[in-house]
Structure 1
Amino acid sequence: MPKIQTSSLHSDFAVQVHTSIMDIVDDEAAIAELKAIWRQSPVMIFRRQSLDEPELVRFTQRFGHCETSGRKDIQSPYHEQIIYFSTLKYSDGRFVGGFAGGEDVDWHSDQTFQVRPATGAILYGTEVPRDGGDIYWANQYAAWDQLPADVQQLIDGRTGIYRYAKRYAMLNTLELQDKAKANALLNLPDAKHPVVLTHPGTGRKALYADPTTLIAIEGLSDEQNARVLPLLFEAGGDPAHVYRHKVQNGDMMMWDNGCTMHRRDVMQIDQPRLMKRTTFRLSEAEYCVPHA
């Protein structure tokens, strides 16, 4: 009998997982079952969790190598694998973490501007604002299926060019005020990834067309790129394939950036918020991992 029960939040794309994470973190069979669920449902929500930072890292590492952020300004002072998104402040006036308020960037997939993106992500809400801040995920399997056959044939097997400068132009005003950090990212070389990813376990194809970083598809003319890219971006954020989540205290949200995009609503900076995030590297033998 399965140990883990789920309920659908949006088709088979997003599910709520009815278990306490600390009840299963050391259970090999349960973790294997959870991985099987995740292959089919790339957004998983665990409600009413109570995790300290070592437990959050421990759970993350059951799925892949937990990355250490290069952003020391938003890093947890206790665990380098965790970053904070928050409206709270330290006693010296600095924000606790980053992305404190304002509008988020548009639909995006994390780290697409990097040569080797880490595609696994967990966000844990320890203090959630009363208003705003809802998080949305868009199903990129469905985005691929929605594309006209001629567009699918045109882009399948092709490589996209992804540039951080495009995203930087969209960032909210509180993000990356440090010019040295901004310049380091702006000077990154362009990344190249397939614009269509195939899950090695299920064979499902997912669109990988981040509108905040994708600037062109190799092998297409300027005219073809001008016609096709807007179609990809429209399909990627189609409301029919979007799950909207009203975050509650204790929610742990887990998603696969290889087959999803996400965004959030505007935040109210005068309301308390503290979210803890881990990012982890997934195996290309088991997941949709972009590589050129």
Structure 2
Amino acid sequence: MRSRMPKIRTTPLHSTFATEVHVPVMDILDDPDAIEELKGLWQKSPVMIFRRQSLEESELVRFTERFGKCETTGRKDIQSPYQEQIIYFSTLKYANGNFVGGFAGGDDVDWHSDQTYQVRPATGAMLYGTEVPRDGGDIYWADQYGAWDRLPKDIQQLIEGRNGTYRYAKRYAMLNALELKDKEKANAMLSLPDAQHPLVLTHPRTGRKALYADPTTLVAIEGLSDEEAARVMPILFEAGGHPSLVYRHKVHNGDLLMWDNGCTMHRRDEMRLDQPRLMKRTTFRLAAGDYCVPKA
């Protein structure tokens, strides 16, 4: 029996963990075979870049839900007025002077994975650039499979099978003034219970191990004293953001960026408020049987 020829052409951007996908999303949106092929690619390359796309917000949500259930945010101030599953990151303003969306400018919080401070994080993410600044705002991803491989053997043996404690307050202290400084919203986030997640995740399909040690939220390691954790955590953080593991992407209008937070970390360059920017993001839940999903 002849195997089906792949429909999707790709180009590696960094080793095997970041890949450019050469296909218009609208050409495969309703093609189950192509979506299955794309899922297989994503399990091996957790960062995928689709350049020069043209998508309505409803189409972005539809494409997202081919991979997992979309989340909706409780923060109405950054939510799309058209699709509740989409949030905006922007330097643009409404007529009343409020920013269109959140996280408008300044520095990022450095290397991180989304929602690690939540008990049940949603690890899938897409970011669609509709208005992209000329300068600044480049986005970086770091390969956490490679981070695990970089760790000394004794550190691997020490952390495998242990949970970490992840706390929002640590990230909050790193946020710039334009992020989440509203007192009521901040209090709601700061009151979240600590999350417990494994420090090492294993991909159920490929068997590869990924480090899951977010420098912005990890505050303790199960079974280690504060002194021992203080020695080990910088080793984990250095491996997680090592330059050899990083793909840097210059975003252009129409770029659709898709990544798996279970086996990558990301950050961006500083954003300037004098340049227009509008990015649209969806966050979605991945199946534990198919992806690196933290579950303590």
1:229 aligns with 2:233: yes
CA distances 1:238-281 after superposition (whole Å, capped 9, x unpaired): 00000000000000000000000000000110100000000000
1:12-91 alignment, distance < 5 Å? 12-91=16-95
Runs of 4+ with deviation above 6 angstroms: none
Correspondence for 1:195 among 187, 196, 199:
199
1:154 aligns with 2:158: yes
1:272-283 alignment, distance < 5 Å? 272-283=276-287
1:132-281 alignment, distance < 5 Å? 132-281=136-285
Q: Distance in 1 between matches of 2:243 and 2:155?
A: 20
TM-score, normalised to structure 1, is 0.99
- Aligned with 2:93: secondary structure? coil
Which runs of 5 or more residues in structure 2 are unaligned? none
- Which of 170-179 and 208-217 deviates more? 170-179
1:10 aligns with 2:14: yes
Correspondence for 1:112 among 108, 112, 116:
116
Q: Distance in 2 between matches of 1:222 and 1:167?
A: 19
1:220 is displaced (CA, Å) by: 1.0
CA distances 1:227-248 after superposition (whole Å, capped 9, x unpaired): 1000000000000000000000
Give the paired residue count: 292
Amino acid at match of 2:161: G
- Aligned with 1:125: secondary structure? strand
- Aligned with 1:153: secondary structure? helix
- Aligned with 1:226: secondary structure? helix
- Aligned with 1:104: secondary structure? coil
Sequence identity (%): 78
1:223 is displaced (CA, Å) by: 2.1
Q: Distance in 2 between matches of 1:13 and 1:233?
A: 19
1:192 is displaced (CA, Å) by: 0.3
1:177 is displaced (CA, Å) by: 2.3
- Aligned with 2:88: secondary structure? strand
1:176 is displaced (CA, Å) by: 1.1
- Which of 172-181 and 125-134 deviates more? 172-181
RMSD, aligned CA: 0.5
Correspondence for 2:127 among 123, 130, 137:
123
- Aligned with 2:154: secondary structure? helix
1:90 is displaced (CA, Å) by: 0.5
Amino acid at match of 1:64: G
Q: Distance in 2 between matches of 1:69 and 1:43?
A: 23
Q: Distance in 2 between matches of 1:162 and 1:254?
A: 24
